[in-house]
Structure 1
C-alpha cells in the first residue's frame, strides 16, 4: 500500500505536467500609468472620429518634453489603442480588444518600428504568435498557436520579413 501511494504521488506530480500550455495573458490597460501620463501633460483635447473601431481620440501633450500621448476609445468608452510619440517618433504603441485584452506586446526601436521579442494575443488572452521583429520585419522563427494555446506550427522568416519555411507539428 505504501508503494501504491508513492507511485500515485509520483504520477500526480509529474504526469499532470506532461501537457503544459501557456496560461492566457490577462494584460489590459495600465490605468495608473495612463493617469501619470495625463497628469504630466500640460494640454489635452478630444477629437471625435465616429468610426466603428474608434469613436474618440484624446491627446495629452507635454510641450516641455515634446511628448504626445494619443488614447483612442470606442463608442463604449473602452481604450482600444495608445500611441506615444516623442520628438515626432513613436516610442510606445499598444492596441486592445473590446474586452480590454492587449492584442500584442511590441517593442520599438529608435525609429518607432517594431524591434525585438514580440507576442500577439487572441481576445481570450492566449498567445496567437511569438517571435522577433528586426526594424519592422519579422525575422527568424515565429511560433503560432491556436485559441487554446496549443502550438500549431512555426514559420521561418528571412531578413526582409518573407516566409522561407513553414513547419507543422
Structure 2
C-alpha cells in the first residue's frame, strides 16, 4: 500500500508540472509585438494604450511593491504571469511610466510627460539595475540625451543636446 501511495504522489506531482498552455504562448507573442510597437513610439495616447493593454491581457491587479514612488503600479498579465505590463498611472488615466516583462525579466521601460511624449526610454533589470542604451527627450519630442549603462554604471559616450537638436556636450565614460 505504501508503494502505491508513493507512486500516486509521484504521478500527481508530474501531472501538476504541466507545460505552458499553447494559447498563453500565442498571447505572449502577441504582447511581444504590441510592446515593441508601444516602446518604438515617441508619443503615446495614454487612454488608448491602457485600453489596448487591458484588452490583450487577462488579469489586472495592484502591485504592492514599494518603488519609492507616490503612484502604485498596476500589473496587466496573461494567464502565465511570466509576461506582463507594469503601468504607473496618474489621475485621469495618464501613464507616467510603463514597463514590459517577459519571463519575469524587464524588456522595455519608459517614462512619459503628461502630454504622452516619451521622457526617457531605458532598460532596467527586475532589481532596478540600469542596463543597455537609453534615450531621453524634451517635452517637445526632440532628443535631450543618449547613452548606455552596464550594471548601473554609465559606459561609452553620453551625448547631450539642446532643444533644437544640436550637440551641447559629450562625455566619455570609458576614460573614467
TM-score (norm 2): 0.58
List runs of 5+ in structure 2 lacking aligned partners. Answer: 1-40
1:73 is paired with a residue whose SS is: strand
Taking structure 1 as reference, are residues 30 and 134 closer, same or farther at Cα in structure 2, changes over 3 Å only? farther
Shift of the 122–58 alpha-carbon distance from structure 1 to 2, 3 Å rule, reads: same
- The structure, 1 or 2, with the larger RCO (C-alpha pairs under 8 Å, 6+ apart) is 1
Q: CA deviation at 1:116?
A: 3.2
1:135 corresponding residue in structure 2: 151
- Counterpart CA distance in 2 for 1:61 and 1:68 is 4
Task: Give the strand-richer structure, 1 or 2.
Answer: 1
In structure 2, do the counterparts of structure 1 residues 91 and 152 end up closer, same or farther at CA, with 3 Å as the change threshold? same
Secondary structure, counterpart of 1:45 in structure 2: strand
Equivalenced residue count is 131
- Structure 1: gaps spanning 5 or more residues: 1-25, 165-169
The TM-score normalised by the length of structure 1 is 0.60
2:135 aligns with 119
Q: 1:33 to 1:61 in 2, by over 3 A?
A: same
Whole-angstrom distance in 1 between the partners of 2:159 and 2:84: 34
Partners of 1:72 and 1:117 in 2: CA distance: 22
**Is residue 42 of structure 2 the alignment partner of residue 27 of structure 1?**
yes
| 1: CA distance, partners of 2:116 / 2:171 | 28
